[in-house]
Structure 1
Amino acid sequence: MIFHKLKEKEEEEKEEEEEEKEEEEEEEEEEKEEEKEEEEEKEEEEEEEEEEENEEEEEEEKEEKEEKEEEEEEEEKEKEKEEEEEKEEEEEEEEEKEEEEEEEEEKEEKKEEKEEEEEEEEKE
């Protein structure tokens, strides 16, 4: 009878041990799963962050490029405007010079006419 009880108790203890072991294994498995999930989440977040950074960088580069193009365009317009003004100025100067020359010629002609008249008068 005692032997039987002992045997039963031993069996119970063994069963309990097995159950405990199983529970531990299950817990370990769960922990591993959780860790794996956390790792995956972390990776996903990092990827998203990197993607966002890349997009921002691209956007910045695009904006910078557009700004630069606008600046260059402005400079070009300014340069053209200056050249136009310069050209106009030169034309005006040329016109003035021509006018002066014409006036000079007219004066010369009048002078010559006058001299001729005087000569005529002297002859008479």
Structure 2
Amino acid sequence: MTCYLSTWVFFVLMLTCCLCNDKVIYKRNQGVCEEKTRGPTRDCRWVAGLYRYVDFEILKGQIIAYKIKWSTKGWTDWIVPGVNDADSKFNPSARTCSLPYEAKSMRRMWSYFYDHRHKYIICKN
């Protein structure tokens, strides 16, 4: 009987321990995110086609979502890179830039960072 009781107490203690200790024991490497608002950058890399990692190259982080401020209509809704950010306009002519682009090439909406006020949520590790 004593052996049975001690086994039962051990089982209850182990179960309680497992239920209460739900912390992740491995290293969590999560980014730190913040919202920023900026004026025009005049950086031609934003306009350079559909290249997805311009944000890493220029800002050293990942843009999660962004908005563009139009001169007359206010802010756009949130735009998400790679989801709803293909611009309806294209680059009419080729241009020399550290990320060169060709004439009549498609571009992302963040191409307006070049000459418009904008805000974005960026995450960095």
Category of TM-score, reference length = shorter chain? under 0.3
- Structure with larger RCO (C-alpha < 8 A, sep 6+): 2
Q: TM-score, normalised by structure 1?
A: 0.26
Q: TM-score, normalised by structure 2?
A: 0.25
